[in-house]
Amino acid sequence: MGVVCLGPGTTYATEGNMGIIRSAHLDFVAAHASDGAYLAACAHDMNLAGSNIHIDAASQARMGKRYAKGLLNQFGYLPYGAEGPKISSATRSGAVVTVNISQNGGTALADGAGGSGSALLGFRVYDAGSPCTISSTVISGNTVVLTLSATPAGSVTMDYAMANAPYGSTTAPASVVYDNDTIPGDTLGLPLQPHALMVVT
């Protein structure tokens, strides 16, 4: 069973519900991988059409290529599918949070515009449950470095791509973290997988 991690949505759902479903998708794959479940692709970086719930035609074509890559991996024709990179851990020193990312077929990270990630969105950091302001972002090797506007005083947690529309209703490529595992006929790599709320150590 190939599971597609839910795309963006700005209507028909209370904020946060899309993230609950994405988290459930990832949990299902982790729990049932030995039974044949796999992450076919992630759709959270897709652009919405005029309905604010359905993805546009260009995004549909992009998702089709990702599904095909995932299936070719399942059939043994490619060494990697379309899961994309994932967050492995996050650490903090003062006001700086370093997000560690594990590759899954790619060898480098960049934003969707091929840049250093100075305009990334989708990360949310909390100080004892209260949202923190992220003043700057940058991709450094296999990490994303988030600089907060103030040093947290309490326990710090973080999630990624768990808002209903994590990059706004239309994706700005420079807002999204991608690897360099491009698919023939496409210019983007695979997006960083969503991650539910986690403790920053």
User: Residue 100 has what pLDDT?
Assistant: 98
User: Residue 2 has what pLDDT?
Assistant: 96
- Tell me the pLDDT tens digit for each residue of 126-181: 999 999 999 999 999 999 999 999 999 999 999 999 999 999 777 889 999 999 99
Residues of the chain short of pLDDT 50, as ranges, are none
Virtual torsion, Cα 173, 175, 179, 184, nearest 10 deg? -10
- Tokens (6 digits) for 158: 């973080």
- For 57, other C-beta atoms within 10 Å of its C-beta total 9
User: Backbone phi, then psi, for 183, in 5-degree steps?
Assistant: -105, 140
161 within 8 A of 195, measured Cβ to Cβ = yes
**DSSP labels, 57-102:** HHHHHHHHHHHHHHHHHHTTSSS--S---EEEEEEEETTEEEEEEE
User: Residue 199 has what pLDDT?
Assistant: 98
Instruction: Report the alpha-carbon distance of residue 54 to residue 47 in Å, rounded.
Output: 9
Closest CA to 102 of 183, 5, 179: 179
Give the torsion sign (CA, 42, 47, 53, 58): negative
